[in-house]
Chains A and B, each alone.
Chain A
Amino acid sequence: MPAATSLRPASAAWRVLAVLACLGLLLTGGLTRSNDLFPFGVLDQFSYGTPPDGEVVSTCLRGVRDGEEPFEIRFGQRTVGIERSDVENSLPAIEADPTLLAPLAAHYDRRHAEEPPLDALILCQEVTSLHDGAADGEPELVEVTRWERP
């Protein structure tokens, strides 16, 4: 038989209690719908069931330069320095204070130093209507807010 190293009662006790405490935190995070207890917060990715006749809202960015048509800018660390999900979770704050978009525009300009800087950055949403769980027509583009270079 292989030699097994046994734990003393106190060592065994704190280990079992630690597991139960973490499970308790996870349960609390789930029941209170709180991400605040990360990494034991609510595991709510894709938990909001979209109604089959509802709509799909997808946040987007559009850049504006003088004399040019607005153009799409993708979210990401290599473009505006932040992911779409981070921005979506801060939408109310950005709507209240559009200058929060300034660092994103600055990041984009640094990445595209050979081009003129952005005159404005538009935070927008593509809204796709659903019918019976399937896309119904083309998405509609809605402007949420915009930051303009002072």
Chain B
Amino acid sequence: MGAAMTAERRPFAASLRTRLRAAFLTAVPLSRVRALQVIVHVMVILDVLTFSRDVLAHAGNAAFYRPVALARLLHLPAVTPGLAAMLLAVILLGSAVVIAGGRLDGMLKRVLRGRRDSRRASARAVRVTGVVVAVAYWVWMLYSNSYGYVAHDHMALLVAVAVLPTVRLPLSDARAGAEAPVGPAADAATEPESEAGGWALRCVQIAVVSTYFFSIIPKILYTGSLAAWGNSAILTWASIRRGSPIAHWLVENAPWVFVPAQWAGLAIEALSPVVLFLRGKALYVSIALYLGFHLSTLLLLGIHFLPTVVCWAAFLPLERISIPRRSSNIPRRGVRETS
């Protein structure tokens, strides 16, 4: 009987493994991961210089320091001007190195003078730098969110910087070094794919979707039901507090528009996990819908959610984007894995 049960369990375990692999580890082209890595690190630079720049000012607000759990776990003291400047420098320089990618190859070739494989060394340097940026950026964001207000638009970006360095990337692509064929012209037979890359992209996708889906929990807990939230005056409240001239005009002349808009927002949040299973045109239409949602909140309330918006790129076939080459006489080569 025991043997029969074991035999039954085996197909179940195998089926579970197959399903989990399909859900989290579907292989994707490495050039897609590399493209997302560049986009994410450009966003990180933009973020620390604009949206989360408050860390520099917080150095003068030590009395407001209320460290979140992870900051307490790491025993982070209140940020000082020197520490903020050092973190900013590490993030900016590190992100620049990650974005430069394969361009390091030429530099390392000159430094190493053939003693080691410069391509492998530059790929490793970029990966290690990615880890350093991830740590520095997480600490930066812990500081940004430990002085009272906690932002809700950075989860996907934080996940992205954390998971992307786990992928071993070859850097001989057009974005990194302008050598290899990527995009529609690339030879599919030479385009390597990786399950680790697929996992990293899936993590970013899940984080993006979770940003919407998990926001319905507090709406139920705070108001009693989704219907109570949908029929409330929350958009009137937001428009009066921080609305644009368009929002103030709506409050004055057409406040009835807010309740249907709130129900539309609820539908977008509650149905967000469906996007994880869409492909092709349906996926692109859905992404356009969510970006349209953010455009409307930007126009009405000045809320852009750009760190999340950028991470929607994880759903796109970025390897198809062709980047102009630096020189037309550069020979094309296939992409090789570094390890």
Smallest Cβ-Cβ distance to B210: which chain A residue: A26
Question: B240: which A residues are within 8 A, CB to CB?
Answer: 56, 58, 128, 135
Q: Is B232 on the interface with A (CB-CB < 8 A)?
A: yes
Interface residue A41 (Cβ < 8 Å from any Cβ of B): yes
Q: Does B214 contact A (CB under 8 A)?
A: yes
Distance A32 CA – B255 CA, assembled complex (angstroms): 33
Are A52 and B233 in contact, CB atoms less than 8 angstroms apart? yes
Query: Which chain A positions have C-beta within 8 A of B221?
Result: 30-31, 33, 47
Q: Please give the number of chain B residues whose Cβ is less than 8 angstroms from any Cβ of chain A in the complex.
A: 73
List of B residues within 8 angstroms of A134 by Cβ:
236, 251, 255
Q: Is B76 an interface residue (CB 8 A)?
A: no
Contact B57 A77 (CB under 8 A): yes
How long is the Cα–Cα vector from A111 to B207 in the complex, in angstroms? 39
**For chains A and B in complex, what number of residue pairs have CB atoms within 8 angstroms?**
200
How close is B302's CB to chain A, nearest CB, in angstroms? 13
Q: Is B54 on the interface with A (CB-CB < 8 A)? A: yes
Please give me the residue from chain A that is nearest to B237 by CB atom. A50
In the complex, chain B residues whose CB is within 8 Å of the CB of A45: 152, 215
Q: Are A130 and B236 CB-contacts (below 8 A) given A26-B210, A43-B214?
A: yes
Q: B residues touching A (Cβ–Cβ < 8 Å)?
A: 20-21, 24-25, 27, 29, 53-54, 56-58, 60-61, 63-64, 66, 68-70, 141-142, 145, 147-150, 152, 154-155, 158-159, 188-196, 199, 202-203, 206-207, 210-211, 214-215, 217-219, 221-223, 228-229, 231-234, 236-238, 240-241, 251-252, 255-256, 258-259, 337
Across-interface contacts of A54 in B (CB, < 8 A): 233
Contact of B241 among A18, A49, A56 (CB under 8 A): A56
Contact between A89 and B148, CB atoms less than 8 A apart: yes
Q: How many residues from A make CB contacts under 8 Å with B?
A: 61
Of the candidate stretches A7-15, A63-71, A116-124, the one touching chain B is A7-15
With A30-B214, A48-B234, A86-B148 given, is the CB distance from A2 to B188 under 8 Å? yes
A19: Cβ under 8 A from any B Cβ: yes
- Contacting pair B27 A23 (CB below 8 A): no
Our pick among A22, A38, A49 for the contact of B219 (Cβ within 8 Å) is: A49
Residue of B nearest to A57 (CB): B241
Q: Do A83 and B233 touch across chains, with their CB atoms under 8 A apart? A: no
Query: How far is A81 from B154 in the complex, measured between Cα atoms in Å?
Result: 21
B171 CB to nearest chain A CB (Å): 16
* Cα–Cα distance between A87 and B54 once the two chains are bound (Å): 13
Q: Chain A residues near B228: list those with CB within 8 A.
A: 49
**Which residue in B20, B148, B192, B202 is a CB contact (below 8 Å) of A2?**
B192
Within 8 A of B (CB), among A72-122: 77, 81-83, 85-90, 100, 103, 106-107
By the criterion CB–CB under 8 Å, are B193 and A7 in contact? no
Which B residues are in CB contact (< 8 Å) with A103? Answer: 60-61, 63
Tell me how far the C-beta of B146 lies from the nearest C-beta in chain A, rounded to whole angstroms: 8
Across the interface, which residues of A come within 8 angstroms of B252, CB to CB?
A: 135
